[in-house]
Amino acid sequence: MQPEYVERKVWVCRESRHLRLSGLAKSLPVRPQEANAGRLGHAEFLELILQDELNVRRERQLQRHTKAPDFRGLKSLEDFDWQFNASISRRQLFELTAGQYLHGGDHAPLTRTARRS
């Protein structure tokens, strides 16, 4: 490797940490080699390193959101005991978690139909 390449790499790593781009800093040693091997253009390379940064930020956000309420353990809907409360509509809950109502402009189906007195 040429000295100027190494210096540039060190500078980019240092500045990415200064800008709080830790995902970019973590992937920096590997991504240029992948870009050369895959003959990626500048735009594709930039997309890869930005995706690395987004992935790190999403993971951190998930960790913060699950740590803050002090959950004892994470459970998925597949682990949910559907026999415990038979009035919960399994289909409706899965549709709600999929977020399809967001794309259709509908309201979230959180309540049952209101009864009139």
Taking only the tens place, the pLDDT of each residue in 39-93 is 888 899 889 889 999 999 999 998 888 887 777 777 788 888 888 888 888 888 8
pTM over 0.85: no
How many whole angstroms separate alpha carbon 37 and alpha carbon 30?
11
How many whole angstroms separate alpha carbon 22 and alpha carbon 49?
11
Q: What is the pLDDT of residue 65?
A: 85
How many whole angstroms separate alpha carbon 47 and alpha carbon 41?
10
How many whole angstroms separate alpha carbon 117 and alpha carbon 103?
34
